[in-house]
């Protein structure tokens, strides 16, 4: 039996990088996948790639920072498949290593909107459905930036720390209800998250010395395999925690 046989899995930020790798892997492992991303073309490409293999997927364009969009995402999942068994909050944005004194309201609100408000909206709706079902799994994609202070700028760091706190709270509070919630803290991953980045000079200079201690970049499928494990019944006693997947970077 496949790891996610007949499970319904919502994956945000699934148009590229880690999210795409998760969508492809989850579908191959039997899940009915709802592919969510802000980029419509990427959504369509991933759904096409999955369905051409005879697997099951639906797609929807979603700005995770907008609550109405998140509601539409869950409405699609429920109308199409009738349940939500797994939620992966993968969508995220960086902040160009901007230090606190230079963070604009616009940057702060954008990063917080995608990295913590969106996951909160999705978790809230997922929990409401999972409580009716008596079971469910949430996997939040945080970062080693959510564990330490100098892997990104102020807004990103704060948002990922908040996501870790939300994960632990949900895991504990709903642990007696058949619901598990964990986070993954990747290090450097070979994705397009830096696409169009324009680094803050001072912030990058302060963070740069630590970059040299990174042992290697991860590939998206390596994080996807961990997400699959956490979403599966094999991880039945793992709850309310953060699994670091950084190749040993934070061991220094």
Read off the pLDDT of residues 89-112 as tens digits, 9 standing for 90 and up: 999 999 999 999 999 999 999 999
Instruction: Count up the domains in the chain and report the number.
Output: 1
pLDDT above 90 for 154: yes
Burial 187-212 (b: 16+ CB within 10 A, else e): bbbebeeeeeeebbeebbeebeeeee
pLDDT above 90 for 218: yes
Give the model's pLDDT for residue 239: 98
- For residue 2, tell me if it sits in a domain: no
Q: How far, in Å, CA of 16 to CA of 62, rounded?
A: 14
- For residue 82, tell me if it sits in a domain: yes
Query: Do residues 60 and 34 touch, judged by C-beta distance below 8 A?
Result: yes
- For residue 191, tell me if it sits in a domain: yes
- For residue 1, tell me if it sits in a domain: no
| 156 a catalytic residue | yes
The average pLDDT across 40-50 equals: 98
- For residue 157, tell me if it sits in a domain: yes
Q: Which of 81, 156, 172, 174 is catalytic?
A: 156
| Parent domain of 241 | 8-251
Model confidence at 210, pLDDT cuts 50, 70, 90, reads: confident
The average pLDDT across 48-60 equals: 98
The average pLDDT across 190-201 equals: 81
Model confidence at 209, pLDDT cuts 50, 70, 90, reads: confident
CATH number at 77 reads: 3.40.50.720
Model confidence at 1, pLDDT cuts 50, 70, 90, reads: confident
- For residue 3, tell me if it sits in a domain: no
For residue range 106-143, what is the model confidence (pLDDT) as tens digits?
Answer: 999 999 999 999 999 999 999 999 999 999 999 999 99
Query: Do residues 108 and 101 touch, judged by C-beta distance below 8 A?
Result: no
- For residue 102, tell me if it sits in a domain: yes
pLDDT above 90 for 48: yes
Order of all β-strands in the sheet with 136-141: 57-61, 32-37, 8-11, 86-89, 136-141, 179-186, 242-245
For residue range 162-174, what is the model confidence (pLDDT) as tens digits?
Answer: 999 999 999 999 9
Q: Average pLDDT over the chain, rounded to whole?
A: 96
Give the model's pLDDT for residue 212: 86
Give the model's pLDDT for residue 167: 98
């Amino acid at each position: 039996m496949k790891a996610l046989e007949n499970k319904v899995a919502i994956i945000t930020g699934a148009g590229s990088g880690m999210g795409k790798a998760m969508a492809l892997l989850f579908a191959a492992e039997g899940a009915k996948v709802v592919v969510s991303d802000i980029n419509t073309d990427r959504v369509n490409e991933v759904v096409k790639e999955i369905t051409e293999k005879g697997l099951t997927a639906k797609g929807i364009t979603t700005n995770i920072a907008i609550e109405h969009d998140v509601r539409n995402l869950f409405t699609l999942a429920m109308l199409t498949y009738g349940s939500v068994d797994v939620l992966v909050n993968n969508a995220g944005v960086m902040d160009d290593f901007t230090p606190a004194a230079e963070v604009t309201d616009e940057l702060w609100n954008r990063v917080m909107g995608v990295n913590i408000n969106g996951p909160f909206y999705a978790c809230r709706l997922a929990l409401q459905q999972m409580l009716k079902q008596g079971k469910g799994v949430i996997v939040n994609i945080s970062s080693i930036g959510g564990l330490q202070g100098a892997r990104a700028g102020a807004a990103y760091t704060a948002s990922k720390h908040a996501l870790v706190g939300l994960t632990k709270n949900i895991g504990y509070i709903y642990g007696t209800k058949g619901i598990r919630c964990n986070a993954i803290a990747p290090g450097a991953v070979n994705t397009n998250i830096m696409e169009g980045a324009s680094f803050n000079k001072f912030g990058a200079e302060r963070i740069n010395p630590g970059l040299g201690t990174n042992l290697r970049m991860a590939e998206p499928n390596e994080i996807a395999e961990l997400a699959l494990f956490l979403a599966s019944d094999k991880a039945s006693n793992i709850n309310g925690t953060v699994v670091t997947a950084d190749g040993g970077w934070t061991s220094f």
